[in-house]
Structure 1
Amino acid sequence: MGLTGSIGAGKSTAAALLRARGLTVLDADEQARLVTAEPETLAELEAAFPGVVRGGALDRAALAARVFGDAAQLARLNAITHPRVRTRMSALEAEAAARGEAWVVQDVPLLFEGGLDKSMDAVLLIDAPLETRVARVMARSGLSREDVLARDARQMPADEKRRRATLTLDNGGDLAALEAQLGAALRELGLAPT
């Protein structure tokens, strides 16, 4: 199953709730951090974006400054990192299947944008009103409103995500409301007792 949502929607909160219910959740962002710490990947990133590797580590802020807002540079970055992340995610999913797990959740922020929804049995979308999402991201990251809106604009529109998702949870309320919706969604998918 895929788990996705626009920036600030609460996808990480939903992932934590799914883990608490005993589901294996594979985090694409975590795998991307691991991939970009590998010497081979760092060498490719430095060759493509000189100056983004400092002291043997990726300077994420410098890389973001180089690629965000430049579609060609972002595509170049994705060509280096995405295949490696997908390989790691596939290996982790295979390990879970070997353990006998029938369902594994892949937490992928750009699931639809990367066309990964086509390989999922179901897609759970976490959504929230734009102003709620902007306020959350500004509070947690220190990004300006303009930066958050720019990042949101580079993602697929929420209406299109809702159209493509198997189920959509509205995370505009409190944690209890999200937990209740998540429970109902898991029952609908046959992953929880009724």
Structure 2
Amino acid sequence: MSSPPSSARPHRLGLTGSIGAGKSTVAALLRERGLTVLDADEQARLVTLEPEVLAEIEAAFPGVVREGVLDRAALAAQVFGDPARLARLNGVVHPRVRARMLALETAAAARGEPWVVQDVPLLFEGGLERQMDAVLVVDAPLETRVARVVARSGLTRGEVLARDARQMPGEEKRRRATVVLDNGGGLEALEAQLDAALARLGVTAAGAPARPE
């Protein structure tokens, strides 16, 4: 794929995966390769530091903002498993996150970057794959994913399974992916798969020669 002019938007590489699959590891590897990674979760955290957003969240979910700071656990307890409440929260946060992501993408275009990575945990669930030029899905066996999350978070196995069940099934994510990265093994194997995927898709960082289509 050829590089777009600086005035055009960069090509978008979507990055997603089920809980515990290793999406953050892949994001770090992409950064090491010189690509700009736009992290939707990070932008959501920054959005919820804004006083006007905190005021809207507190109005919708009383008791979740304490001394000007969002109590994320209390908020999660109010919205988890309640689609109507979750939709209300998303209505406050998501438009602002999209605006931040677009601003960061515009800055990348101005720097002449041919590709940006959009790291979005619920990319398929939100219908955002239609806005991507290609999508990487990171996957791993269920028990491997559960063990990773339990080890790093302190959640119980049941809690991890409950969270996983509320996401799109891994089989469907794999079906919709442009490329699937199997992260059931070691880092070396994951890196080899990633480099092969980037070569196949023609994904390059700023200053790297573009591959022909």
Q: TM (normalized to structure 2)?
A: 0.89
- Partner letter of residue 119 of structure 1? Q
Partner of 1:36: 48
Deviation of 1:79 after TM superposition, in Å, equals 1.1
Out of 124, 130, 153, the residue aligned to residue 118 of structure 1 is 130
Counterpart pick for 2:90 among 78, 82, 92: 78
Counterpart CA distance in 2 for 1:76 and 1:191 is: 36
2:50 maps to 1:20: no
Tell me which moved more, 109-118 or 65-74.
65-74
Supply the distance in 1 between the matched residues of 2:143 and 2:87 (Cα, whole angstroms): 28
SS of equivalent to 1:42: helix
User: Which of the residues 17, 20, 36 maps onto 1:5?
Assistant: 17
Secondary structure at the aligned position of 1:123 is classed as strand
Distance in 2, matches of 1:53 and 1:156, equals: 30
In the other structure, the counterpart of 2:64 is: 52
CA shift for structure 1 position 103: 0.1
Deviation at 1:41, TM superposition (A): 0.6
Q: Distance in 2 between matches of 1:90 and 1:16?
A: 21
For 1:184 and 1:137, the matched residues in 2 are separated by 27
Aligned positions, number: 194
Q: Aligned AA for 1:98?
A: A
- State the AA in 1 paired with 2:25: T
Going by fraction, where is helix more abundant, 1 or 2? Answer: 1
Shift of 1:80: 1.0
Q: Distance in 2 between matches of 1:171 and 1:157?
A: 16
Per-residue deviation, 1:76: 1.1
Q: Whose Rg is larger?
A: 2
Other-structure match for 1:140? 152
CA positional deviation for 1:191 = 2.3
In the alignment, which of 108, 120, 123 is matched to residue 108 of structure 1?
A: 120
SS in 2 for 1:22: coil
**Does residue 184 of structure 1 match 2:196?**
yes
Distance of 2:37 and 2:183 partners within structure 1: 19
For residues 109 and 149 of structure 2, the distance between their equivalents in structure 1, rounded to whole angstroms, comes to: 34
Query: Which segments of structure 1 move beyond 6 Å, counting only runs of 4 or more?
Result: none
2 CA distance for matches of 1:150 and 1:11?
A: 19
Q: Which residue of 1 aligns with 2:99?
A: 87
TM-score by length of 1: 0.98
Distance 2:156 2:60 in 1: 28
Could you tell me the percent identity over the aligned residues?
79
**1:128 match:** 140
Segments of structure 2 that go 5 or more residues without pairing to the other structure are 1-12
Query: Which blocks of at least 5 consecutive residues in structure 1 are unaligned?
Result: none
RMSD: 1.1
Moved more, 71-80 or 106-115: 71-80
Between the aligned partners of 2:98 and 2:183, the Cα distance in structure 1 is 27
Separation (CA, whole Å) in 1 of partners of 2:117 and 2:203: 11
Provide, for residues 114-159 of structure 1, a one-character-per-residue CA deviation record: whole Å limited to 9, x for no partner. Answer: 1111000000000011111111111111111111111111100111
Shift of 1:175: 0.7
